[in-house]
Structure 1
């Protein structure tokens, strides 16, 4: 994985806001769906590179791993 979490925290309504090293000026909002978190919004800054789909998936894996939901996230298609 190329992306690393630099900072994260809970917001209201079961959401998480996170910052990542490759996108230091952009804020990522993740929301809980079932037993894991998905990227809901990216408040992208033009100072950062363009966020690609592969980056979003890496972000989701990192946050779910951090919170202990990685197993649920990886098995999400089987549910």
Structure 2
């Protein structure tokens, strides 16, 4: 199902990550850390990009958590 790919990412202040994705090259996504994983906090969406849907947000979260080594925590988050 992975249709979205990370093109660029970096850290911000306060345990946040800013990321750009190939399907949304003009939009900036901010992810914040809660417990042991990251979730999408904001999308600075550009009208030049397609509309970001829920399944895109879930893919973005999974990709970033996989990149950071937190995939296990992210996948088990609903079991808590």
TM bucket (normalised to shorter chain) is over 0.9
Structure 1: 5+ residue stretches without partners: none
Deviation of 1:78 after TM superposition, in Å, equals 1.0
- What are the within-5 Å matches in structure 2 for residues 36-75 of structure 1? 36-75=37-76
Counterparts of 2:77 and 2:4 in 1: how far apart (Å)?
A: 22
Q: TM-score, normalised by structure 1?
A: 0.99
Question: Number of matched residues?
Answer: 79
2:35: which partner in 1?
34
Structure 2: 5+ residue stretches without partners: none
Deviation of 1:74 after TM superposition, in Å, equals 0.1
Deviation >3 Å, runs of 4+: none
Q: TM-score, normalised by structure 2?
A: 0.98
Counterparts of 2:27 and 2:78 in 1: how far apart (Å)?
A: 29
